Structure formats: C-alpha cells, structure tokens
Structure 1
Amino acid sequence: MEIFAKRLKERAAKLGISNAQAARLCELDERRYANYANDQREPDLMTLAKIARILNTSTDHLLGLADHQPQTERARLLDRLNVAATSLTDEELRTVVTQTEALAIPRPKKTGKKMPPISGV
C-alpha cells in the first residue's frame, strides 16, 4: 500500500511533525509507525482510524480513496494546533483555550485613532 505510506509522510510533514512525533501522538511504537511510513507494514482498521483522527484527516485520504483540496495557510496552522493539542493534559488544554480566547477578543481596527479611555477604571 505505497499510497498509504506516501500520504502518511505527507500528512505529518504538512503538520510540521516528524514521524517519531506522529508515532508518539498516535501512542504507537516508533518502529511500528516507521514500518507504516516506509511501506513495510499495513495498520489494522482500528489503528488506521486512530492515525487518521490524530493526524486530522480521513482514512479515505490516507488510503488514496479521496484527495484533499489544497489548504490555505490558516487551515494548515489550525491543523497543526489541533494535532499539538492532542498531547496536552486537560489542565494544559484549558490554559491554551483560555489564552487563545484572550487573543481572540475583538479589537478595534488600526485606524490611527486613539481609543477613548475606559470609564470606571
């Protein structure tokens, strides 16, 4: 299943992670994952589904049954964030969500005008 090995490596590269990192995220032995990435072994169905979920793609894509449309830079970054978040503890994830929400607070557009002072502060 040469296409699977190729797409597995491509997907990890798009996410900015090594095969070793992908193996750890998927909770697989690095040698076992390397066998998949080097077209020396094929995963069972449960392992295939887990790899696809962790790498934020579909089993059809990994198996060559479907092609993904080209992604925007934003979509690639969101994929990377999603994959990185899978290895966080619940507390670490809460912290990341809180920090992300703080960054996402609507801000006025930069127009060169100063914002009026906040009353009551």
Structure 2
Amino acid sequence: MELFAANLRKRAGELGLSNAEVARRAGLSERRYGNYVSGRREPDLATLVRIASVLATTPNDLLTGQAPKEAPADLARQRAMAALAALRSDDLERVVVMVEALAANRA
C-alpha cells in the first residue's frame, strides 16, 4: 500500500494538484482520498480507475510505479489534459479559443 500512496502523492505533485483537488475531480471526499494517500486504505477498482484518469496516468502506473520518465513538454501536456478534464463545457470552449489564439500567434 505504501508504494501506491507514494505514487499518488508523486503524480499529483507532478501535475501540481492538491489532494483536495484530486478528490474533487475524482468525485471523492477529501477524507476518503486522504486514506489512500496516507496508505491506510486502498480503493476499489472503479475508484482506482477514476483516480488514474484524474491523474492522467494508468492504474498500473499507480500500483507499480513503473511509469517511464517523461520529458517536460509531455508533462505539461498531461497537466493541461488533467485540467481540461475538470472543466465544464462553457469553460472548455473559452480555453479552446485562448489556445487557438496562442497557436495562431506563433504561426
């Protein structure tokens, strides 16, 4: 359980997410998620899959810690994808407009 808890903390840190934010995005109470992060409990399969999705990784990576080392650009993309997954459709549309403007400015 300690490896899983350490992997949760590490991955959330890589993405710049607090425990409270991971819990919120996964639809869990902070207390329940805190039990996973502290190693006191392990999630069921459905919960593990939701947490992995929020952390933009796989359940296997969280359980084994065998994820490959990522380049900074890859990590930035994963952080963006994790943040985008938490947005409502109207906010997502605003982000798309901003990203398209940035891309057009680079061209």
For the superposition of Structure 1 and Structure 2, which TM-score range results when normalised by the shorter chain? over 0.9
Alignment of 1:44-83 (within 5 A): 44-64=44-64, 67-83=66-82
- The gaps in structure 1 that reach 5 residues or longer are 109-121
Find out whether 1:85 has 2:84 as its counterpart.
yes
- The gaps in structure 2 that reach 5 residues or longer are none
TM (normalized to structure 1)? 0.83
Residue 18 of structure 1 aligns with an amino acid whose one-letter code is S
Larger Rg: 1
Give me the identity figure in percent. Answer: 42
**Structure 2: distance between partners of 1:91 and 1:41:** 36
**Structure 1: distance between partners of 2:83 and 2:106:** 27
Q: Structure 1 stretch 41-50 or stretch 73-82: which is displaced more?
A: 73-82
Deviation, 1:82, is: 1.2
What count of residue pairs does the alignment treat as equivalent?
A: 107
TM (normalized to structure 2)? 0.93
Q: Which has the higher helix share?
A: 2
**Structure 2: distance between partners of 1:107 and 1:37:** 41
Runs of 4+ in 1 over 6 A off after TM superposition: none
User: What residue number does 1:28 align with?
Assistant: 28
